[in-house]
Amino acid sequence: SLKKTNTKTKSEEIKIMPMIELTLPKNALSEEKTAELVDRLTQTLLHWEGAPPNSRAAQEISWGYVNLVDVVNVGGKPADKPRYRVVTTVPQGALRNDEVRNGLVADVTKAVIEAEGSEDDPTAAARVWVIIKEVIDGNWGGNGRIFKLKDIAALVHDGDQALGETIAQKRLGSV
């Protein structure tokens, strides 16, 4: 259950729940490197959403999935080098503008290339696809109910419903 507190200010940055899905070929990265990458991708997405890394609530509602595939095809044939797909799923309004989305894509790409141990160059970057999915407000369900942006924002702001509504208004233009 949510508790109401008024310890946060309306000008504080907005924190919302993300989900990350990393798809990569089996054996492209070690199990340890994959785990480190998922953690880094989570922190990166939270950063671009505006969540401080020490927000326990934001960490607890950030989920990551890893899909290991036998082969990735390019042009109908097995790829010569690993290809990576990172799908980020966020509530509508979580990533405010093109600058934020571009920053997220650049940082996610860099994290994948660094985890692989490759040089950060256009050839390596071209092997990483980042897809941003925004879930229309009112279509994110969990715990047997629908969570709107205002609900999610309130949750990660210690249950402050008024702040949640202010955040939703700022991001979406309506509540």
DSSP 6-41: --S-TTSPP----EEEEEEETTSS-HHHHHHHHHHH
Nearest-angstrom CA–CA distance, 79 and 165: 47
Does residue 113 have a pLDDT over 50?
Answer: yes
What are the pLDDT digits (tens) for 41-52?
Answer: 999 998 998 775
pLDDT at site 175: 54
Kindly tell me if the per-residue pLDDT of 7 is higher than 50. Answer: no
Would you call 166 helix, strand, or coil by DSSP? helix
Phi-psi region of 27 (alpha: psi -120 to 50; beta: other; left: phi over 0): left
Q: Rounded to two decimals, what is the model's pTM?
A: 0.84
Confidence grade of residue 59 (pLDDT, cut at 50, 70, 90): confident
Minimum mean pLDDT range among 14-18, 48-52, 85-89, 96-100: 14-18
pLDDT above 60: residue 98: yes
Over the range 124-141, which residues count as b (16 or more CB within 10 Å of their CB) and which as e? bbebbebebeebebeebe
Helix or strand run (H / E) with residue 55: none
Reply yes or no on whether the pLDDT at 139 is more than 90: yes
